[in-house]
Amino acid sequence: MKQLFTLTIFLLTLTAFAQKPCEYSTNVTDSIGSYKITNEYLVNEKNFGGTSNYIFFSLAQTDGLPTLNVQLIQKSKEFIKANCFDKNSKIFLQLQNGKIVSLMHINQENCGTLIRDEKGFDNRVNTGIFLFMKDNYEELKKSPVTLMRIKYLTNIEDYIVKSELTSEMNGKVFHPNTYFMDNIRCVE
């Protein structure tokens, strides 16, 4: 009986600490090189006054170089202000342990694309690619993120990173604060 109890405890512990497998939307290796990118993950959602804003993360690796892809989606019947990325754009992540991790945008200006849908909503989609800094990359594996600051071309916005986010869009539950702890291993 004691052995059965010990085995049960061992299996429960093993299951609790098991990492889920990495899921990729693209994973290609050919004569030119290798490229893989994780599925998009919702890290922020705000719906207020007929306007919806979403921020999705995905991690990519191109020939061994890990990057963070950030996709911003805004939807509204009102005017949507463009938040552009440029060579000076950055993302600052404040971690629960008090450290701050900075990511730098690649040298490419991007203000996104504005698309009007059949219901009369304007939809702005903007994507930025950010590089990890070597000196604090490891910190993302150790501590949850509590606050995110995005420095755009002409604006700075702060976002509280929740431990649990239930999307109003599809009802799925996300854990944005541990996104890097759970997924950064997928692009190493």
What Rg do the C-alpha atoms of the chain give, in angstroms? 19
Residues 6+ apart with CB under 8 A from 79: 122
Q: For position 92, what pLDDT does the model report?
A: 97
Residue 175 DSSP symbol: -
Estimate to the nearest angstrom the gap between the alpha carbon of 12 and the chain centroid.
30
CB neighbour class for 94 (10 Å; exposed up to 12, middle 13-18, buried from 19): middle
pTM: predicted TM-score of the whole model, two decimal places: 0.86
Per-residue pLDDT reduced to its tens digit, 32-87: 888 999 999 999 999 998 899 999 999 999 888 999 999 999 999 888 888 999 99
pLDDT surpassing 60 at residue 3: no
- Chain-centroid distance of CA 1 in Å reads 46
* Contact criterion met (CB below 8 Å) for 4 and 12: no
Cβ count within 10 A of residue 91? 19
pLDDT in tens, 104-162: 999 899 999 999 989 888 999 999 999 998 877 899 999 999 999 999 999 999 999 99
CA distance 21 to 96: 25
Characterize the bridge pairing of strands 100-105 and 90-95: antiparallel
Residue 188: its pLDDT value, please? 86
Quickly state the pLDDT bin for 18 (edges 50, 70, 90): low
Collapsing DSSP states into helix, strand and coil, what is residue 20? coil
